[in-house]
A and B are shown apart, each in its own frame.
Chain A
Amino acid sequence: MMLWAWRGFRRRPHDPERNAAEYVTGELSRRATRWFEAHLLHCEDCWREVLLGRLGRRVAEEAREQASAGLRDRVRAAVQFTSEGGPAGPSEPSSS
């Protein structure tokens, strides 16, 4: 396994940022994932990038918000109003 990983490491282009981004996003193929996980055991750079990528993703997920019910109603009403022949122009940006 380690020999296979080492050969894979030598054969494949080595881009820690890109590999880590794809791995953390879950977009590597099953085969590429196997290779990369074996490769991580030997490559400090990729290991570090994966760790930072995973943590950063968790931090980003904490910032997720839900639109309020009021906003949903407002969108529905605006579409309905436009549909009934009201002016379809964009909302006026609110002043500061």
Chain B
Amino acid sequence: MANEQDEFLRATMGAVDLVYNLSRRLTDRRQDAEDLVQDTFLQAFRAWTDHRRPKKVEPWLATICLNLARSRYRSRARRPSEVPFEEWMVEGRSSADPESRAVQVIEREQLYRAMRELPEEQRVAITLVDLSGFSTYEAAEAMGTPRGTVLSRLHRGRRALARLLGDRIEEVIR
């Protein structure tokens, strides 16, 4: 069992950020997200010890996380957001290209509100593809939907987030 445990941790711990980002988009509070991360890894470990092992751990963990969120956390995730804003604050990153500069002018508050206001399917598609680096094929498998649906959700979500930039878009176009 200790060997299995080590093997499991070696194979999966690199995906903690991925599962955490996904969990953050599926729950209202940081604490709930952390609980969901733990549950995802425990369920994955049980499957691992039953010799149900994936070819690739990231989509496998994402699928477990999504299924757990759907079955256990969904009603919480749908509640109107009353999350203290600090819960969603992270450090911004600085870069110099025009798009990044335009993005940096967005108020952090606006960014997190916009993410939370996206329909869950769009939020998940964006989290898997843009935040976690999944292909749309992998995201489709994890979400259990056709790839065309993922592309559509992804694009609509991106478009909604881009609207945050408002007039700044004109500056970037020039």
Contact = CB atoms under 8 A, between A and B. Distances in A.
Interface stretch (A4-12, A18-26, A33-41): A18-26
Interface in B81-118: 90, 92-93, 99-100, 102-103, 106, 111-112, 114-115
A91 interface: yes
A65 B20 contact: yes
A93 B111 contact: no
Interface residues of A, number: 44
Interface in A27-61: 27, 49, 51-61
Given A21-B155, A75-B38, A76-B9, A67 B160 contact: no
16 contacts: A21-B154, A25-B135, A56-B157, A59-B164, A59-B165, A60-B126, A60-B161, A62-B93, A64-B131, A65-B20, A65-B24, A71-B37, A83-B1, A90-B68, A91-B42, A93-B35
A83 B39 CA distance: 14
B60 interface: no
B92 A62 contact: yes
Interface of B: 1-2, 4-5, 8-9, 13, 16-17, 19-21, 24, 29, 31-32, 34-35, 37-39, 41-43, 45-46, 49, 68, 72-73, 76, 90, 92-93, 99-100, 102-103, 106, 111-112, 114-115, 126, 129-131, 135-136, 148, 151-152, 154-165, 169, 172-173
Given A22-B151, A67-B16, A94-B31, A51 B173 contact: yes
B155 A49 contact: yes
A93 B76 contact: yes
A94 B73 CA distance: 11
A14 interface: no
A6 B166 CA distance: 32
Given A61-B130, A65-B20, A93-B32, A21 B41 contact: no
A75 B15 CA distance: 12
